[in-house]
């Protein structure tokens, strides 16, 4: 079975170059905490970086594709590579929220087994912040007594959510987010029309991979649909429950993103940031304060996703608060 070689993205080249140089000069650390620029394609990043470090003849950061390591990694048969990530729960069929202690124990066991090949052994964990306390503690012991010729790679978007004891034992690498020009260029290279690319990059807060993902989901159409329903709700033509039901026909990431975007837009508007500097009235200032509070609150509330009912209740609560703020008058 042969799978395609993973892809690298232009904005990752700095970190990839650094990794390769460290390997070539025999200075690779035992453990690295890599801060990724996007939640997307972490799997691809993990594989590409690992393959680059294993490849016999990488050229200009490209994989040779022919050596033993490249072939076996592509086929998923390279025994000295382990990847631990969130698993799908057998019962609920949903993605687990944590990386379980058993996964980490298995990984540690693998790390101390004899190398199968005369190369580096690589173990990757992502998203590393998904390790719970016991998983992180188990891993900590390994970092205190690292096995020889092993690279442990923790990939995360939120290093701050990883225990400092763990972080301090890793060398820290960061992938800087792509700038706007590079992002638009990359989206254009993927065959996305310039105007559409610009719109999606804005939806994605500047993350080209997320922009691509949203474009594949036809997010723009959902935004338009949501705007119409929200307007009806704010006019009183639709209840919060009805609006939520429509929203929840999508996976929760979509309504979460829609709400985040809407609150941000209203905040900008209330603060006068959407137009040339204008004097803000007392009503608008009050609105802005309420919206900023709601934005913070919504971020926390909409993280619940154990079951859909919880999420729906939180979503309704946020929407009702939004309506109250927007229709509030100074007494």
* Residue 61 makes contact with Zn ion by CB under 5 A: no
Q: Under the criterion CB under 5 A, does residue 73 sit at the interface with Zn ion?
A: no
Q: Which is nearer to Zn ion, 66 or 133 (CB)?
A: 66
Identify the residue among 5, 20, 22, 67 touching Zn ion (CB under 5 A): 67
Name the segment binding Zn ion (CB under 5 A); options: 11-19, 52-60, 98-106, 173-181.
Answer: 52-60
By CB under 5 A, residue 55 contacts Zn ion: yes
Residue from 70, 99, 204, 318 in contact with Zn ion (CB under 5 A): 70
How would you write the chain as a 3-class SS string?
CCCCCCCCCHHHHHHHHHHHHHHHCCCCCCEEEEECCCCCCHHHHHHHHHHHHHCCCCECCECCCCCHHHHHHHHCCCCCEEEECCCECCCCCCECCCECHHHHHHHHHHHHCCCCCCCCEEEEECCHHHECHHHHHHHHHHHHCCCCCEEEEEEECCHHHCCHHHHCCCEEEECCCCCHHHHHHHHHHCCCCHHHHHHHHHHCCCCHHHHHHHHHCCHHHHHHHHHHHHHHHHHCCCCHHHHHHHHCCCCCHHHHHHHHHHHHHHHHHHCCCCCCCCCCCHHHHHHHHHHHHHHHHHHHHCCCCCCHHHHHHHHHHHHHHHHHHHCCCCC
| Residues 188 to 227 in contact with Zn ion, rule: CB under 5 A | none
Nearer to Zn ion, 58 or 290 (CB): 58
Nearest approach, Cβ of 66 to Zn ion (angstroms)? 6
Do the beta carbons of residue 138 and residue 101 sit within 8 Å? yes
- Among 53-61, 214-222, 248-256, 257-265, the segment contacting Zn ion (CB under 5 A): 53-61
Min CB(189)–Zn ion separation in Å: 24
Q: Are 240 and 316 in contact (CB under 8 A)?
A: yes
The answer to whether 64 contacts Zn ion (rule: CB under 5 A) is yes
Please, what is the minimum distance in Å from the beta carbon of residue 299 to Zn ion?
43
Q: Which stretch binds Zn ion (CB under 5 A): 47-55, 136-144, 272-280, 294-302?
A: 47-55
Smallest distance from the beta carbon of 57 to Zn ion, in angstroms? 6
Nearer to Zn ion, 77 or 228 (CB): 77
| 230 CB-side CA count, 13 A | 21
Stretch that binds Zn ion, among 62-70, 122-130, 279-287, 304-312 (CB under 5 A): 62-70
Query: Based on CB atoms, which residue is closest to Zn ion, 122 or 247?
Result: 122
Within 301-320, which residues bind Zn ion (CB under 5 A)? none
State the nearest-atom distance from the C-beta of 146 to Zn ion, in Å: 26
Residue closer to Zn ion (CB basis): 50 or 85? 50
72 binds Zn ion (CB under 5 A): no
Binding footprint of Zn ion on the chain (CB under 5 A) = 55, 64, 67, 70
């Amino acid at each position: 079975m042969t799978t395609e070689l993973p892809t690298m993205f232009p904005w990752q080249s700095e970190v990839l170059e650094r990794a390769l140089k460290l390997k070539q000069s025999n200075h690779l650390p035992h453990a690295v905490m890599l801060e990724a620029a996007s939640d997307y394609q972490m799997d691809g990043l993990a594989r590409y970086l690992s393959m680059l470090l294993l490849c016999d003849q990488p050229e200009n950061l490209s994989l040779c594709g022919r050596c033993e390591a490249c072939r076996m990694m592509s086929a998923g048969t390279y025994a000295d590579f382990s990847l631990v990530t969130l698993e799908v729960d057998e019962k609920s069929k949903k993605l687990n929220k944590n990386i379980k202690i058993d996964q980490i124990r298995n990984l540690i066991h693998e790390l101390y087994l004899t190398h199968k090949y005369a190369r580096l052994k690589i173990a990757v964990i992502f998203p590393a912040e998904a390790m719970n306390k016991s998983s992180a503690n188990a891993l900590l012991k390994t970092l205190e007594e690292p096995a020889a010729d092993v690279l442990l790679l923790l990939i995360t978007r939120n290093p701050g959510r990883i225990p400092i004891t763990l972080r301090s034992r890793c060398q820290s690498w960061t992938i800087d987010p792509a700038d706007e020009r590079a992002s638009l260029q990359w989206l254009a290279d993927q065959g996305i029309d310039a105007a559409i690319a610009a719109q999606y990059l804005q939806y994605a807060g500047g993350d080209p991979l997320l922009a691509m993902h949203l474009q594949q989901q036809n997010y723009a159409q959902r935004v338009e649909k949501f705007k119409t329903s929200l307007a009806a709700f704010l006019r009183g033509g639709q209840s919060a429950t009805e609006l939520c039901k429509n929203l929840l026909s999508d996976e929760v990431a979509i309504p979460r993103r829609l709400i985040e975007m809407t609150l941000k837009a209203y905040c900008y508007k209330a603060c006068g940031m959407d137009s040339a500097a204008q004097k803000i009235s007392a009503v608008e200032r009050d609105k802005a304060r309420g919206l900023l509070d709601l934005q913070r609150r919504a971020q926390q509330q909409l993280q619940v996703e154990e079951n859909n009912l919880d999420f729906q209740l939180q979503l309704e609560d946020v929407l009702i608060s939004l309506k109250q703020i927007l229709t509030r008058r100074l007494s």
